A and B are shown apart, each in its own frame.
Chain A
């Protein structure tokens, strides 16, 4: 069975500092994607960054980057120059069945940003 584990229920970071959110996963898929979603109080899930498992290069989107360790099945998210608007729940997810909407989610990490 596929699983996604986020071991940090809550994290806190000072504005302008860097924070790393951890995620480990297990999958039987031969080709898959990994995702980080942000969920603000509005409840809408917003895709932050996506990593294709067959690509060794870590994905980067502006201030957001990942450290993808395929052998270790680890997929952490680094947020640089943290902003107040980054405060939210962050969910790590893995897809299955070849579709990017069939997703297995972790339980999330609540990120607080201190001014």
Chain B
């Protein structure tokens, strides 16, 4: 596609429910990143996929958060048993690879509201 696509754009869920957020990276990009942006804060790294390598999950805040990337393309971020503190904008980015001259391109994010 022309850019990184995220869906849904907005999601309201009840506390305790599970949610799935989707990211379609730019075609051919091997690297994919998830970030979380809480109100009034900068972006917080969550997880990083590069090709077929094991993902870097060091930023996931708890075991309620997980992500997968199928076929090296689309990624899904899953939050189980959502809590109010999970309310944030979740941003996805992709880049052509890990070379030092590759730029990360961001999607427009999913705004998650847990009520």
User: How many CB-defined contacts (below 8 Å) exist between A and B?
Assistant: 67
Q: A33-B100, A45-B91, A45-B93 are in contact. Are A104 and B45 (CB under 8 A)?
A: yes
**Which residues from chain B contact A105 at a C-beta distance below 8 Å?**
42-44
From B45, B56, B103, B109, give the contact of A100 (CB < 8 A): B103
CA of A100 to CA of B105, assembled, Å: 10
Scoring B33, B41, B43 by chain A CB atoms within 10 A of each residue's CB, the highest score goes to: B43
CA of A45 to CA of B108, assembled, Å: 8
Asked whether, in the complex, the Cβ of B104 is within 8 Å of the Cβ of A100, the reply is: yes
A interface bracket (residues with beta carbon within 8 Å of B): 20 to 34
From A43, A47, A50, give the contact of B108 (CB < 8 A): A43
Asked whether, in the complex, the Cβ of B109 is within 8 Å of the Cβ of A102, the reply is: no
Q: A4-B42, A107-B42 are in contact. Are A101 and B108 (CB under 8 A)?
A: no
CA of A31 to CA of B44, assembled, Å: 21
CA of A101 to CA of B47, assembled, Å: 11
Scoring A45, A93, A106, A107 by chain B CB atoms within 10 A of each residue's CB, the highest score goes to: A45
A selection of 29 A-B contacts at a CB cut-off of 8 Å is A6-B42, A42-B108, A43-B89, A43-B109, A44-B108, A45-B43, A91-B43, A93-B42, A93-B43, A98-B98, A98-B100, A99-B31, A99-B50, A99-B95, A99-B98, A99-B102, A100-B104, A101-B31, A101-B48, A101-B93, A102-B33, A102-B45, A102-B48, A102-B56, A103-B45, A104-B45, A105-B44, A107-B41, A107-B42
**Complex interface residues of chain A between 40 and 63 (CB less than 8 A to chain B):** 42-47, 50
Asked whether, in the complex, the Cβ of B91 is within 8 Å of the Cβ of A43, the reply is: yes
